[in-house]
Structure 1
Amino acid sequence: MRPARFVALGDSLTEGVGDPTGKGWRGWAALLAGGLVERPADFTNLAASGAQTRDVLETQLPAALALRPDVASVVVGVNDTLRATFDIRAVAARLDTVYAAFTERGTTVLTVCLPDPGTMMGLPGVLADPLARRQRAVNTVVHALSERYGAVHLHAAEDDWTTDRAMWSADRMHPSERGHRQLALRSHALLTAAGVRMGGPPPTAAPEFPAPTRAAGLWWLATAGTAWVVRRCGDLLPQLLRLAVDEVRHRARGTSARLDLRASQACAAALASLPLVGDAAEPEAA
């Protein structure tokens, strides 16, 4: 029997941002791989900073299918919520195609839903709430599709770890080493419970490296962190301001529930528009 193969797809979270090792980023997927595969060569991390669902579908998926993985993690969607082009119907269609492609090949799919970026960054409510609705929609889609395709799903959107400062890096968008380790530990436990053959023990919860000092964190946030935010959501700002004005208007009228209902209806329509299982077009492997 050949060693298990693990391929990770996604954005900067899976790339490992927030968990520096001195040689670059490591992250939860690499930590999980240490207890999943028997050889380093059997783990491939295709995740890239800034990736959206379109990037996962069009670029990462073909490369992943060519590797014939036994386990594939797909953690993406936050960057979609930070763009002016956000479209939950498109997000649902892309994720459906990705999950289906792996499932049809017998690959175990690992999915994760995440907290909304506005709340994690501490934005005012009128700015955070529109982003929260978007992330809730993405999480709803991930939940539904995980069930549809029998994926191993880690719910990490509302746990205590979201309010534990030690679990997050200076930018409040990416986990710290401790947070990445928690994601890896919990993923290892879920895969084990699902009957996936694990090649080794789970990673330890205790950090290997000392946490960055507060001064170092503030310096990163003022330099690289600011640039990261501008690159990820620069085109969103005009739209977000319009959404904030709409939020204030509905709050003043006491009709904020209409915004929640509108988002829920859009999400339901996105899921309803998906093809029946087995009818989706099959992407070609690279």
Structure 2
Amino acid sequence: MKKWGLCIWLILFCAGCSSTEAMNIADSPLRQVHLYPLTIDRYFFPRDVNVLAIGDSLTEGVGDNDDQGGYVSRLQKKMLQHKGIRAVTVTNLGKRGLRLSQLDDVVETHPQAVKEADIIFITIGGNDVMKIVRSHLFDLSYSLFEREQKTFVKRLDRLMATIRTWNEDATIVLIGLYNPFSSSLQAIPEIDDVIDLWNNGSKEVISRYDHTIFVDVKDLFDNRDDVLYSDQFHPNELGYELIATRVYEQLQKEKTWLGRIEQ
């Protein structure tokens, strides 16, 4: 009987404690717990980047005695230093002697490379200028270059439209012309103005399209023979390094290009 009494007493005691505990919990103010969203660094998961390079001998890397692939390979190494990039795959379709009118065929015969590209680098126009020089060596004039420039920008606009039919989102980087003719074309004292005219026209064309960057490199070559190959036309190793650095600096400023890759 004593055992039963002890059990009953224990049950009543526990019930009383539970009731007291419940009353205490009910009577005490609720403590607010603040939960903050977990933030992960945007570069925590580095991405792979597909690069397509199209254009003339500058894209091919002619004049690079170090055989490092001109500005494209140097730029690839710089891009790999970015903590948001894990790998950079490059498809280089540059070919010596190409003019703008021939780039449409390059794009149309490599649609998959265009579709898969995150960034498209273009160098073009030097051979278009040279064609004018060779065809009119004895009657060169500013008005002649001015007339041909209008045709050039129309073709550039068509090229941009062709690229965008295959790839709407890739960042397109057009590298401007520089002037290697300062000493050789004394018959055209306005040759600097000619280069500026063509660059400004190209810049205006690509500005009509989203996700585009124009990189001016003319000042890197002005009155400098030390950045040119022995043919006094193509960049040498230093010239390509300067181009690669300028392009990468421009990409750093235009941060949205990497943001689209990260989406």
TM-score by length of 1: 0.59
Q: Give the aligned partner of residue 27 of structure 1.
A: 70
Q: 1:25-72: per-residue Cα shift (whole Å, max 9, x none)?
A: 6100121122336446x20110100000011112x2124532121100
Q: 1:63-122: per-residue Cα shift (whole Å, max 9, x none)?
A: 453212110011101101122478333321221122233345211000111223422xx1
Q: Distance in 2 between matches of 1:57 and 1:108?
A: 18
Q: Give the aligned partner of residue 104 of structure 2.
A: 57
SS of aligned partner of 1:148: coil
Alpha-carbon RMSD: 2.6
Shift of 1:134: 4.7
Q: Distance in 1 between matches of 2:220 and 2:119?
A: 27
Q: Specify the code of the residue in structure 2 equivalent to 1:61.
A: V
Q: Residues 128 and 25 (structure 1 numbering): CA distance in 2 closer, same or farther, change over 3 Å? A: farther
Task: Give the counterpart of 1:83 among 131, 143, 167.
Answer: 131
Q: Distance in 2 between matches of 1:138 and 1:94?
A: 13
Instruction: For 1:131-280, list aligned pairs within 5 A.
Output: 132=192, 134-150=194-210, 151-157=212-218, 159-195=219-255, 196-197=257-258
Shift of 1:194: 1.3
Q: Distance in 2 between matches of 1:101 and 1:36?
A: 27
Q: Distance in 2 between matches of 1:126 and 1:47?
A: 31
Would you tell me which structure has more helix in proportion to its own residues?
1
**Larger-Rg structure:** 2
Q: Distance in 1 between matches of 2:201 and 2:224?
A: 26
Shift of 1:160: 4.7
SS of aligned partner of 2:131: coil
Kept in 2: contact 1:81–1:134 (CA 8 A): no
Shift of 1:192: 2.1
Q: 1:216-261: per-residue Cα shift (whole Å, max 9, x none)?
A: xxxxxxxxxxxxxxxxxxxxxxxxxxxxxxxxxxxxxxxxxxxxxx
Q: Once the two structures are aligned, what percentage of the paired residues are identical?
A: 22
**Structure 1 residue ranges, 4+ long, deviating more than 6 angstroms after superposition:** none
Q: Distance in 1 between matches of 2:153 and 2:161?
A: 12
TM-score by length of 2: 0.64
Q: Residues 65 and 32 (structure 1 numbering): CA distance in 2 closer, same or farther, change over 3 Å? A: farther
Higher RCO, 1 or 2 (CA under 8 Å, sep at least 6)? 1
Q: 1:141-193: per-residue Cα shift (whole Å, max 9, x none)?
A: 21111322241111112x15422332222222111111101111111121122
Q: How many residues align?
A: 190
Q: Distance in 1 between matches of 2:252 and 2:60?
A: 23
Q: Distance in 1 between matches of 2:222 and 2:57?
A: 18
Unmatched tracts of structure 2, length 5 or more: 1-45, 81-85, 136-144
Q: Distance in 2 between matches of 1:113 and 1:12?
A: 14
